[in-house]
Amino acid sequence: MDPISLTAGICSITANCLTTTAKLNSLYGKYQIADQTILGIQSETKLVGICLNEIQNSLLKNPYALTEAVYSVIDDTLIGCEHVYSVLDTEVQKIRPGSLSGRLAFLWNEEVMSSILGQIRRQHFGLNFLMTSMILYVMNHFGKVCI
């Protein structure tokens, strides 16, 4: 995948992250048992967004500094992020705040939401590792950090 397509994908995922965070923000405080999970998801999502933004800035600054293999890894990572946030969005859509069924659905899905939080944390870890790898690659091949 080319750097411009990757950048467009990052924009899409970042927008999804922001939308989902806003939806979760509206749920915070309405489900006391889930407040920690919601805060965790919001916090990790913000960190994922920062990582995505840094990768995007690197791609825009020097789009052809990396090899096709590195672009492929970035693409795979973006697919993983997109999937996790799609699942999260689906779960958030199932919650209807203020209704008894919404409360029961959320309590019943707490295990799922905690699992999603773990997946988001793994995505964050993977993105951090990817950014470090990109920096090391450029340093090894160009002798300086230019991303």
d(CA 60, CA 11): 12
Let me know if residue 14 belongs to a domain. Answer: yes
CATH number (domain holding residue 57): 1.20.120
pLDDT of residue 60: 87
Let me know if residue 30 belongs to a domain. Answer: yes
Average the pLDDT over each of 45-49, 58-62, 90-94, 107-111 and give the range with the smallest value: 107-111
What type of residue is 41?
I
Number of domain units in the chain: 1
Q: What is the mean pLDDT of residues 50-68?
A: 87
Residues 12-37: tens digit of each pLDDT: 999 988 888 888 888 777 767 777 88
Let me know if residue 147 belongs to a domain. Answer: no
SS3 content of the chain, % helix, strand, coil (to 5): 85, 0, 15
pLDDT grade, residue 2 (50/70/90)?
A: confident
> Looking at the predicted structure, is the pLDDT value of residue 108 above 50?
no
Structural domain for 25, as ranges: 3-142
